[in-house]
Amino acid sequence: MLKIVSVVGARPQFIKAAAVSRVLRATEGVKEVLVHTGQHYDANMSDVFFEELEIPRPDYNLGIGSGTHGAQTGKMLEAIEKVLMEEKPDWVLVYGDTNSTLAGALAAVKLHIPVAHIEAGLRSFNRHMPEEINRVLTDHASDLLFAPTKTAVINLRHEGIPEERIKLVGDVMYDAALFYGKKAERQSQILNKLDLKPKGYVLATVHRAENTDDPVRLKVIFDALCEIAREIKVVLPLHPRTREALIKSAMYDKVALSICLTEPVGYLDMVMLEKNARLIATDSGGVQKEAFFYRVPCVTLREEMEWVELVELGWNHLVLPLSAEAVVDGIKLSLSDCAGLEGQPYGDSHAAQKIAQHLAHVPR
Ligand code: UD1
Ligand code: UDP
């Protein structure tokens, strides 16, 4: 029996793990042990995904919670190490670029347990981003690197990662989008609940540290979204980090008058909101791609991006939030001139199967 410990902890990882876990658990001879670090813990940031996406209950919930980078990652490292010493798996599987990813990879590699990284090779080339540090270190600690795109493969080659460790499998978020997209259509009532007409609103999300922790950036983005809301409804499911930042900057009440702010929504509601939006404005990695999966134009509110194919195909425009005018202009331009080219840069929606095959067959 091949034993795989999967480490998850933050919202996007639950969605990625939903796609992969489903396949791993259906693969003969594979046993998955699921570890939730507890990085995200609010019901609407965690439980809702386990319920809706039918992710098995975690075998371990480490309950680490929030903290500074060092404290959070350090506590995770210690707690994951204990689990790995107990479970003695053949592989540790980590996802994406959060502190949970790095802690899982580091705990495993120090115990000489092989590490497989899903979503390997993404780079923004901005080392100020905590995610960039997490990705680079995780990739260099990994034995198997599952790249979602050709660009990711090239990035890994440039960093000298041995070719035999790199596997181009496609993006597991595309697998999830197709698998759960239909379910969302059947189950979600969010459009009625928020009184939204298809293609009658802009969907926005904001949560990146570089946008929320800088009060000037935060004001630029929210001033721009309030301005857009004068012309078309803007709906924004609010990440707890951003809620705190808006309250701290005394902006929350004013923003709530212009923008339809909601609590974070479940994945099925989010898919429905994405599919029916006229445009999406976001700094989220996952949401950018989902915009493309549903062929909705998108503006990325950042300085640089990892999913460069979206810009190359013309579905996404990168807008650096330096002034509210620049953001308003960028959004208005995309609202008027939107559709991009066709293409399939994120694989064939069988990334999870390919990952399971590789894990089961790579000699250890
Ligand atoms: C983390 C990831 C980021 C990812 C994002 C997905 C890191 C360094 N960052 O950012 O890459 O894009 O998750 O959403 O790992 N909070 C709550 N309730 C929760 C979770 C968080 O209130 O359930 C609040 C806390 O005040 C916390 C803050 O949000 O301090 C930030 O949470 P944290 O997990 O540290 O980072 P994210 O911004 O969520
Ligand atoms: N998402 C969700 N509800 C929300 C906001 C996002 O289900 O209120 C989903 C979204 O559809 C995508 C994932 O969460 O699948 C993206 O997570 P997030 O934006 O938190 O992180 P990132 O992808 O930037 O790391």
How does pLDDT run across 161-218, given as a tens digit for each residue? Answer: 999 999 999 999 999 999 999 999 999 999 999 999 999 999 999 999 999 999 999 9
| Residue 314 CB neighbours (<10 A) | 14
Digit-coded pLDDT (tens) for 55-95: 999 999 999 999 999 999 999 999 999 999 999 999 999 99
Q: How does residue 363 score in pLDDT terms, banded at 50, 70 and 90?
A: low
Residue with CA at minimum distance from ligand 1 atom 9: 98
> Distance, CA 56 to ligand 1 centroid (Å)?
22
Residues 6+ apart with CB under 8 A from 205: 236, 237, 239, 280, 282, 283, 284, 287
Work out the number of other CB atoms within 10 angstroms of the CB of residue 320.
Answer: 15
| Inter-CA distances, 279 with 181, 201, 306, 334, Å | 18, 7, 20, 8
CB of 45 closer than 6 angstroms to any ligand 1 atom: yes
- pLDDT band of 361, cuts 50, 70, 90: confident
pLDDT band per the 50, 70, 90 thresholds, residue 364: low
Give residue 236 CA to ligand 2 midpoint distance, Å. Answer: 12
Q: Is pTM, for the whole model, over 0.95?
A: yes
Question: Is 130 a pocket residue for ligand 1 (Cβ < 6 Å)?
Answer: yes
Query: How far does the centroid of ligand 1 lie from the alpha carbon of residue 348, in Å?
Result: 30
CA-265 nearest atom, ligand 2? 8
Return the best residue to mutate from 236, 270, 272 for the ligand 2 pocket (most ligand atoms within 8 A of CB): 270
Q: Which residues are catalytic, by number?
A: 207
- The residue-averaged pLDDT of 133-145 equals 98
Per the prediction, the chain carries an average pLDDT of 97
Residue whose CA lies nearest to ligand 1 atom number 26: 241
Q: pLDDT tens digit string along 243-298?
A: 999 999 999 999 999 999 999 999 999 999 999 999 999 999 999 999 999 999 99
Burial readout 46-56 (b: 16 or more C-beta within 10 A, e: otherwise): bebbbebbebe
Q: How confident is the model at residue 337 (pLDDT cuts 50, 70, 90)?
A: confident
What pLDDT score does 170 carry?
98
Would you tell me how many other CB atoms lie within 10 Å of the CB of residue 88? 10
Nearest atom of ligand 2 to the alpha carbon of 263: 8
Distance 362 CA to ligand 2 centre (A): 32
pLDDT, residue 163, reads 98
What span, in angstroms and rounded, lies between the C-alpha atoms of 173 and 179?
A: 10
